[in-house]
Amino acid sequence: MRRIVCIVAVSVLVLNLAGCTALQKKFTPKKKKQVTMPRVYQFKKYEKKPTPELYQKHYAYWMTWQSELIKVLGDNGKKDKRCIQEIIGNLRDMQSMLVEEKALEFESHIVRLESVESIIFGNNLTQSNKDYTRRVLEKEDRNIKREFRLKKMRSYLRKSFDEEPPAEQAPQEPAPQEITVEEPGPEPVSVVFMKTDDAPAN
| pLDDT-based confidence at residue 157 (cuts at 50, 70, 90) | very high
Choose between 36 and 13: higher pLDDT.
13
C-alpha distances in Å from residue 178, one per residue of 183, 185, 187 = 16, 20, 16
Question: Does the structure show a pLDDT above 60 at 112?
Answer: yes
For residue 119, pLDDT beyond 80:
yes
Helix 100-121 with 127-147: angle, nearest 10 deg: 160
Q: What is the dihedral of CA 58, 59, 64, 69, to 10 degrees?
A: 100
The pLDDT, as a whole number, for residue 49 is 87
pLDDT digits (tens, 9 = 90+) for 47-94: 578 999 999 999 999 999 999 999 999 999 999 999 999 999 999 999
Alpha helix ranges (H) inside 46-168:
52-72, 77-96, 100-121, 127-147, 150-153
pLDDT digits (tens, 9 = 90+) for 37-57: 454 444 444 457 899 999 999
Closest CA to 69 of 87, 96, 45, 46: 87
Transcribe 8-37 into DSSP letters: HHHHHHHHHHHHHHHHHHHHSPPPPPPPPP
List domains and CATH numbers for the chain: 52-155 (1.20.120)
Lowest mean pLDDT among 16-30, 31-45, 103-117: 31-45
pLDDT of res. 23:
46
